[in-house]
């Protein structure tokens, strides 16, 4: 004997299955959302600009690792300018800027992508990153790096921040004492087309 379930009974059974699935989802959705929120927050930098003050000890360092370039901007509360500039060095990669200027650079980085893409902690010394920022504030260390495999939007944000940083870095006057062997020859060298005495 062949028995057929009436259409309304099948619909009721299907409705009960849907209700059961919805109940399961109600339990799982908050858990899934909580995990997603935790993952999102852990991938973002919190506290980068929280309570930031121009009188704080602040440092911003950027490395363009493929070119071997390293630039650092610090506030006077971080590094004494007299002490830094009185030392003889082989490069002028560190500049002491006004605290407000360093604070503005950190805020620019946060708005430009570091708050979204950066991570807490010091920057790794080695890795695939072609450009790496590291910020030091009283709240701690934060870093943000990109490499050729990084998503295009993040790489674009990094390039904008890198260029903005270099513009600010170049605005800072610094009078560094250099240890350049044979540097005096530079001033004695006759340039092509220069008038003779």
Instruction: Note the pLDDT tens digit of each residue in 55-94.
Output: 999 999 999 988 889 999 999 999 999 998 888 887 779 9
pTM: 0.69
The residue range of the domain holding 135 is 59-175
Q: Does residue 104 belong to any structural domain of this protein? A: yes
Q: Which residues pair with 59 in a beta bridge?
A: 74, 136
Domain tally, the chain:
1
User: Would you say residue 39 has pLDDT above 60?
Assistant: no
Q: Does residue 13 belong to any structural domain of this protein? A: no
Q: Does residue 31 belong to any structural domain of this protein? A: no
User: Would you say residue 193 has pLDDT above 80?
Assistant: no
Confidence band (pLDDT; 50, 70, 90) for 116? very high
Q: Does residue 3 belong to any structural domain of this protein? A: no
Cβ-proximal residues to 109 (8 Å cutoff; 6+ apart), any chain: 48, 60, 133, 135, 144, 161, 165
Q: Does residue 39 belong to any structural domain of this protein? A: no
pLDDT of residue 189: 63
């Amino acid at each position: 004997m062949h028995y057929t379930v009436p259409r309304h009974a099948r619909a009721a059974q299907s409705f009960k299955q849907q209700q059961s699935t919805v109940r399961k989802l109600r339990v799982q959705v908050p858990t899934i959302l909580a995990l997603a929120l935790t993952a999102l927050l852990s991938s973002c930098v919190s506290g980068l600009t929280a309570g930031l003050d121009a009188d704080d000890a602040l440092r911003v360092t950027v490395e363009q690792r493929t070119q071997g370039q390293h630039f650092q901007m610090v506030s006077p509360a971080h590094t004494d300018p007299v002490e830094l500039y009185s030392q003889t060095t082989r490069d002028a990669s560190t500049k002491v800027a006004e605290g407000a200027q360093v604070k503005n650079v950190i805020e620019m980085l946060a708005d430009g992508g570091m708050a979204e893409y950066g991570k807490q902690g010091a920057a790794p010394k080695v890795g695939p990153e072609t450009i790496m920022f590291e910020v030091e504030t009283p709240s701690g260390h934060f870093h943000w790096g990109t490499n050729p495999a990084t998503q295009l939007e993040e790489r674009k944000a990094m390039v904008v921040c890198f260029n903005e940083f270099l513009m600010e870095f170049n605005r800072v006057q610094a009078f560094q004492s250099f240890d350049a062997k044979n540097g005096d020859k530079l001033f004695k060298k006759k340039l092509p087309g220069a008038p003779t005495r």
